[in-house]
Copies of this chain bind each other. A is one copy, B any other.
Amino acid sequence: MKKFTAVDDVSVPGLGLSQSIDLMIEKALAYKQDPWRDMGLGARRRIGILFLNPSLRTRMSTQIAAEQLGMKPVVFNIGSEGWSWELEEGAIMSGTSVEHIKDAVPVLSQYFDVLAIRTFPGLEDRLSDYTETVLNSFIKYATVPVLSLESATLHPLQSFADLVTIKELAIRRPKVVLSWAPHIKPLPQCVANSFAQWANAWDEVDLVITHPEGYELAPEFVQGAPVIYNQLEALENADIVYVKNWSAYGDYGAMPEVANDWMLDEAAMALTNKAKVMHCLPVRRNVELSDFILDGASSIVTRQAANRVWAAQAVLAEILKSNYGAD
């Protein structure tokens, strides 16, 4: 594993992608069973965990995963602790950016064995966001393996942890509904894109997507998954409901008006197969999801967040093994 930025990166030669995902899930669950089983794997190895945006779960879980593998993590808030980065190739840097990403990243590659980076989309220039300008610049100039901590369009560590969580439910081929939720401001499409990408690649679930008109996701991530605009119809017999807000991909970054109340309620939940409810957190209570659901037995959001550690650990272990000859 030379990098980890999307589902394809877990692909193992000779195995199909779905089976490769299964294998990674098994590795994550093995760490959950025994967190310290590979504590020598990362000895004398360092990971730079870099944030262009805020983070709680991703920050903590990546750091913990690294330490459980014996690595030394260094966490760094790029904008506030260091120098703001210029991203544009050929820029005349007479503005507010103090350092070009093409100068910073080669240096960071000298300091660290693995680099992890979080970068949110601007939600203004779709082409720039969907070509992953920042992440790809970062990868281009890095000379060590790069781990995405969420990028402009995807959040692969989240999605991998989501699949680990679904696997633990031990439901035979569950119907999983990705259900759009209201929010007060435009959010990235990353979590939804990424979950769709992973769920589509994994043969163990049937994915259905539901959202109001105007909130269609990028086709490359939806692929063949059924999109149903009627939320109640979509939820019928769902085993798992993954709740998440996102802003429009078409009218990029916009929040088209929505007629009905899309916040999941008791009546909607009654249509499901006693579905478990997932959300990547942070969640705005009583806007995205009600107290009633979050505080009830159907919510598995804490377990889902806890599984971030094991997902990160499995990925980091693979990166160490394939890049530094360990194992």
Interface of A toward B, CB cutoff 8 Å: 35-36, 44, 46, 48, 51, 54-57, 59-61, 63-64, 67, 72, 74, 76-77, 80-83, 86, 90-94, 98-100, 102-104, 106-108, 110-111, 184, 281-287, 291, 294-295, 301-302, 305-306, 309
Contacts and interface: CB of A to CB of B under 8 A. Distances in A.
Given A46-B64, A67-B72, A103-B281, A305 B110 contact: yes
Given A60-B74, A76-B60, A82-B54, A107 B305 contact: yes
A99 B281 contact: yes
How many chain copies does the complex carry? 3
B82 A286 contact: no
14 contacts: A46-B64, A56-B104, A86-B285, A93-B285, A93-B287, A94-B284, A99-B283, A104-B281, A104-B282, A106-B302, A107-B302, A107-B306, A110-B306, A111-B306
Nearest to A92: B286
Contacts of A106: 302
A82 B281 CA distance: 12
Given A36-B44, A302-B107, A54 B81 contact: yes
A82 B55 contact: yes
